[in-house]
Amino acid sequence: MKDSISDTLSDNISSALISLDNLSRVFRTEQLETTALNAINLNIQAGDFVAVMGPSGCGKSTLLSILGMLDSPSSGAYHFKGNDIAAYNERKLANLRKSELGFVFQSFNLIDELSVRENVELPLQYLGMPRQQRRERAEAILKRMNIDHRAEHRPIQLSGGQQQRVAVARALVINPAVILADEPTGNLDSKNSDDVMQLLRQLNKEGTTIVMVTHSEHEARYASRIVRMLDGRIVSENVSDNLNESSSATLSEVVNHG
């Protein structure tokens, strides 16, 4: 019986893109100990779109930081593509972040001194890709996002929705295994928020794995799964009813909508 349970756990880890097993994160100071994550168990398969929800302070951001290999768990295991991340040194973790993870932030995090194209090229530069190749790759993804006509503009010359579209292009340009999105519509109005969510949903339908932290029930319904957290624990997980009205639209139709 024990061997059967062990074999099942091993199969779950090897088949999942991301597997968290009894993972906890505790922050300690001389006066205080805070448990940000408490015995988290979560499997994310390739092609999933997972929305993580919960009140402020529930552990969502800490979870995303660990998934993004920007922080380490205090206990438990994090397996990525079947490999235990605890066995990796900082250099290997940095290489994984550069090649496998795309990040989309609430505040866009574009570099004002660089053009739109240069912002999108930046992850490829970190990978050591030759200049002409990374320019071609950046131009192709900007065209796919229908923002190529802004390629030589600076971020400050773009609307909030356009800036977030550039941020999504930057995340996608490395062809990541997963996109980690932290409140990606937090600085946008309702129309631009819906445009970005439709874009993310369509990218997911085309095969991109997405994990998104959000406070919005409306936007969480664009995901295929909703994970709810409270006090550092996962308290529920359910399949979304997928609100997205444009689920049958092509990516071209979605990006041209904005």
Tens-place pLDDT, residues 110-138: 999 999 999 999 999 999 999 999 999 99
Closest CA to 23 of 89, 78, 81: 78
Mapping DSSP to helix (H, G, I), strand (E, B) and coil, where does residue 255 land?
Answer: helix
pLDDT band of 7, cuts 50, 70, 90: low
In a domain, 37, yes or no: no
pLDDT digits (tens, 9 = 90+) for 136-181: 999 999 998 889 999 999 999 999 999 999 999 999 999 999 999 9
Q: How confident is the model at residue 252 (pLDDT cuts 50, 70, 90)?
A: very low
What per-residue confidence (pLDDT) applies to 12? 55
Is residue 256's pLDDT more than 50? no
Range of the domain at 152: 46-70+89-257
Residue 35 placed within a domain: no
- Is residue 220 a part of any domain in this protein? yes
pLDDT band (50, 70, 90) for residue 243: low
In a domain, 38, yes or no: no
Residue 26 scores a pLDDT above 60: yes
pTM: 0.86
Task: Dump the DSSP string for 159-201.
Answer: -HHHHHHHHHHHHHTT--SEEEEESTTTTS-HHHHHHHHHHHH
Query: Does the residue 200 lie in any domain?
Result: yes
Counting beta carbons within 10 angstroms of the beta carbon of residue 135, is it exposed (0 to 12), middle (13 to 18) or buried (19 or more)? middle
> For the chain, how many structural domains are there in total?
1
Token readout for 10 is 């091993």
Residue 96 is assigned to a structural domain of this protein: yes
pLDDT-derived band at 249 (thresholds 50, 70, 90) equals very low
CATH at 118: 3.40.50.300
In this prediction, what percent of the chain has a pLDDT beyond 70? 88
pLDDT of residue 211: 97
* 83 lies in some domain: no
**pLDDT at position 103 over 70:** yes
Distance, in Å, from the CA atom of 109 to the CA atom of 195, rounded to the nearest integer, reads: 19
- What's the rounded mean pLDDT across residues 5-33? 79
pLDDT value at 253 more than 80: no
pLDDT at 2 over 90: no
The angle that helices 190-205 and 160-172 make with each other, rounded to 10 degrees, is: 20
Please indicate, yes or no, if residue 134 is contained in any of the structural domains: yes
